[in-house]
Amino acid sequence: MAAFVYRFRYLIVAVFCILTLCAAFFIPNLRFEGDIQALAPNNVSSVGEFRRVNQLFGGADSLAVSAQSKSLFTPEALAEAAAINKELQSLPDVSDVVSVFTYVEPANVEDGLSFIPYIDPDALPSDQASSEALKSRLQGIKTVSGKLLSSDGDTLLYIIQTSPNVSQIRLIDNIKSIIAAHPDFAFEMAGTPFIDYQMVNYMRHDVVILIVFGLLAVVLVLLVGFRSLRGVLLPLFTIGCSLIMTFGFMGLLHAKITIVALIIPVMLIAICNNYAIHFLTRFYEDVFINGMTDKVEIIDASFRSLSKPVWLAFLTTVASFISFVTSPIPRIAEMGLFIAFGITYAFAMTMFFIPALLSILPLPRKHRRYHANEALITSMSKKAGGFITRHKTAILVVTLVIAAVGAFFIPHIIVDSEMANYFNPNDPVRVGIDFINKKVSGSQLIKVSLPVDPRTSEGLKKANEFQEYAESLGQVGSVFSIVDSIKSLNRVFHDDDPAFDVVPDNDETAAQLLLLVETSLSPERLTQLVSEDYQNLCFNIQLKAGDSATLQKTADLLRTKANEIVGTGGVSMAGVSLIANQLNGLVIISMLKSFVIAFTLVFVFVAFGFKNIPAGLACAGIMIAIVTVVFGTMGLAKIELSTATTLVASITLGVGIDYLIHFSARWFSERNNGYDKKEATSRALGLTGRGIIINAMAIIFAVIPPFFSQFRPIMYFGILCFVSILLSLICGLVTMPALLSIIPDKYFKKIKI
């Protein structure tokens, strides 16, 4: 291998540079995707129901915009609020706006029956007395107070129905322009379009932060670890090429960058320098300690000494990410494959590009500082090796106790895929949701399609029963359907007698009232409430639920009642929040599947690589303890199990096992060379331990930038990775040598490195 690399060194360097440059041309094809549906597989029931309701009623998504003014009920403020409504209706991505200016009620006038908005924008109050009278009237209307108008009368709600082919970025940008033009009002937004908009903006921001600061962190660690230019530039160049190659490959396939894909640069920066660090550590050892001067011999020695541990580390790491291919969540499967692709490219660069470039560059010059550091490291390694071998039993007992404590807190882990909880409490998304939930009808929308015929009294009776039940639920802020319009119209026909504020009791009256309601509504509003064939009614239910468990409980109650009224089958419920909730179960399934597969592959690779089952069991046992502590940390710190944090188990397994493999390989090699357990431990700590520490520090510093992510799952992912790598480092340099020292030699006799 060394002779081949040396002979074709210039060609190898040129090939890798050309491949990387070609990949860079495809990076502009990448697009950001904040829609939760991009994470959900197409075959889940919530996605199917969402599409069915979308097809029946022309859209299953909405945006809530609140406008607050302490002097709302003045002629000037009402005129401005009406202008805001008009401006919102004129936007190209808006099909309808429900507000006090568009929601109509029947009324008897001189010319007969008329339908007028709760606040007629063409007949606004002209003086303060009229404004106060209007306020009093609206606060007494059940369908308005606390729903479209806050109970204290200072906040209006505009419920925006988006067009089928909505451009969410354009929609929110246009709404922000409208908001900016009305500084006398305080606005808040809530709803999936706003969440998606914020997610895309934050993802663009996070990608830059994660890459730039991740690379800077790695540079810092490499400078401290190697104190040489090539020791910094070669691993850094490997990372950069792997990032470009991976994102170029994603661009070639027109892949989308979702919140899960934000993990890709974090993992590539953290992992892709591993093999280069170990190769360079051995390279410097052969040059400075062993005194080798022939480049071919040096590279050949590095290949021979590192071939097995590096290959095992590569295979186990790739296996941990390949295991995600079994995930029922497509974007997680893609993420695993793309990271595995980037790691493979980095491994290829370590095996060919770096040796080829080292063959071209002159050998590094020896310096006194290196030997001074070497003496210090040797002294510290001897002391550490002696301590570990003397206290091996105590070390293993402490490890087991910590793992047991971690296992105790695992049942306390919270599973939550509520999209709003992806954001910090002071984020505009969370602030808007909390404000709208408190002041008006709620920020979450669920659309329920009920298979009833509104032209019949029986159909309207069932619809009314369902609406009254929905309104009785504590988390329901409001219900918009044609039921209220039918009942109001029936009352008006009977001289506003409250006794007739009910649905009609015969089919003829039901059909007549429905026809009148149809004439009063715009085609856009009617399409959202009644299906074209009159076989389904839609109920737009605004919820004040702040967490996925409460929302799901309310949705389950609504579905049970709907099935009770109309019989099982035919009821459809749509909402992006329901899709997010169904991801909860898929997240757990994904985690368990990928972890079991990754664990099995890692054990097989280690046992087969060392040709020794006890060695595989030793590594696997320690990794189980580490993963247990990591998940116990989640339960103790109340960190939610989400689409991002669920990946930590397999990643911990794939990355952390590298330290156990590298230490074990060197330990076995030293034992084969005749050193006793204490000396083997000291030498392994002093030689291979240096590469392990540099490698671990590079990863630890690379996962610090996610701490500052705008997304809580990514922030938690970084924290958990930090904990897992730190634990893996400690176990690799303390627990693993203690375990190797306590296991009888007869179990390791056949191991050859």
pLDDT digits (tens, 9 = 90+) for 612-631: 888 888 888 898 999 999 99
- Are 340 and 475 contained in the same domain? no
DSSP 238-301: HHHHHHHHHHHHHHHTT-EE-TGGGHHHHHHHHHTTHHHHHHHHHHHIIIIIS----HHHHHHH
Lowest-pLDDT range, 198-212, 236-250, 571-585?
571-585
Q: Does 299 have pLDDT greater than 90? A: no
- Are 101 and 231 contained in the same domain? no
- Are 253 and 380 contained in the same domain? yes
Model confidence band, residue 688 (pLDDT cutoffs 50, 70, 90): confident
Q: Does 40 have pLDDT greater than 80? A: no
* 567-577 pLDDT, tens digit each: 877 899 988 78
Give me the residues paired with residue 319 across strands: none
* 492-520 pLDDT, tens digit each: 888 888 888 888 989 998 888 888 888 87
Beta-strand relationship, 476-480 and 537-543: antiparallel
CATH of residue 269's domain is 1.20.1640.10
Model confidence band, residue 372 (pLDDT cutoffs 50, 70, 90): very low
Domain boundary among the residues 570, 596, 614 is at: 570
For residue 17, what pLDDT is reported? 93
Domain boundary among the residues 519, 544, 570 is at: 570
For residue 189, what pLDDT is reported? 92
> In the 8-state DSSP scheme, what is residue 353?
I
* 427-452 pLDDT, tens digit each: 888 899 889 888 888 888 888 999 99
- The 10 Å CB-count burial string (b at 16+, else e) for 348-387 is bbbbbbbbbbbbeeeebeeeeebeeebeebeeebbebbee
Model confidence band, residue 14 (pLDDT cutoffs 50, 70, 90): very high
- Are 456 and 500 contained in the same domain? yes
- The answer to whether residue 47 sits within a structural domain is no
Domain boundary among the residues 184, 211, 234 is at: 184
- The answer to whether residue 54 sits within a structural domain is no
Q: Does 375 have pLDDT greater than 80? A: no
Q: Does 205 have pLDDT greater than 70? A: yes
For 569, other C-beta atoms within 10 Å of its C-beta total 7
Q: What is the count of structural domains for the chain?
A: 3
Q: What share of the chain is helix, strand, coil (3-state, %, to 5)?
A: 70, 10, 20
* 516-535 pLDDT, tens digit each: 888 877 777 788 888 888 89
Q: Does 670 have pLDDT greater than 90? A: no
Mean pLDDT (the chain, rounded): 84
Report d(CA 590, CA 227) in Å as an integer. Answer: 42
Report d(CA 692, CA 690) in Å as an integer. Answer: 5
Give me the residues paired with residue 263 across strands: none
- Are 602 and 488 contained in the same domain? no
- The answer to whether residue 441 sits within a structural domain is no
Q: Torsions phi, psi of 436, nearest 5?
A: -70, -35
- Nearest to residue 357, comparing CAs of 729, 16, 713? 16
Using H for helix, E for strand and C for coil, what is the string for 608-667?
HHHCCHHHHHHHHHHHHHHHHHHHHHHHHHCCCECCCHHHHHHHHHHHHHHHHHHHHHHH
Question: Is-contact 119 134, C-beta < 8 A?
Answer: yes
- The answer to whether residue 743 sits within a structural domain is yes
For residue 701, what pLDDT is reported? 83
- Are 159 and 252 contained in the same domain? no
Q: Does 291 have pLDDT greater than 80? A: no
Lowest-pLDDT range, 113-117, 428-432, 477-481?
113-117
- The answer to whether residue 506 sits within a structural domain is yes
Q: Does 753 have pLDDT greater than 80? A: no
**Residues 635-655: what's their mean pLDDT?**
82
Half-sphere exposure of 614 (CA within 13 A, CB side): 14
For residue 549, what pLDDT is reported? 76
- Are 21 and 135 contained in the same domain? no
For residue 546, what pLDDT is reported? 65
Please report the beta strands in 516-643, taking only residues with DSSP state E, as ranges in sequence order. 537-543, 572-574
For residue 323, what pLDDT is reported? 85
- Are 217 and 132 contained in the same domain? no
For residue 391, what pLDDT is reported? 86
**Residues 579-583: what's their mean pLDDT?**
78
Please name the helix (run of DSSP H) or strand (run of DSSP E) that holds residue 476, with its range, or none: strand 476-480
What's the CA angle centered on 740, arms 735 and 741, to 5 degrees?
Answer: 95
- Are 163 and 236 contained in the same domain? no
Q: Does 416 have pLDDT greater than 70? A: no
585 three-class SS:
helix
- The answer to whether residue 109 sits within a structural domain is yes
- Are 408 and 294 contained in the same domain? yes
- The answer to whether residue 56 sits within a structural domain is no
What's the CA angle centered on 15, arms 14 and 20, to 5 degrees?
Answer: 100
State the residue range of the domain holding 229: 2-37+197-421+580-748
- The answer to whether residue 85 sits within a structural domain is yes
* 60-92 pLDDT, tens digit each: 578 899 999 999 999 999 999 999 999 999 998
Model confidence band, residue 749 (pLDDT cutoffs 50, 70, 90): low
Q: Does 702 have pLDDT greater than 90? A: no
Q: Does 19 have pLDDT greater than 90? A: yes
- Are 165 and 233 contained in the same domain? no
- Are 156 and 297 contained in the same domain? no
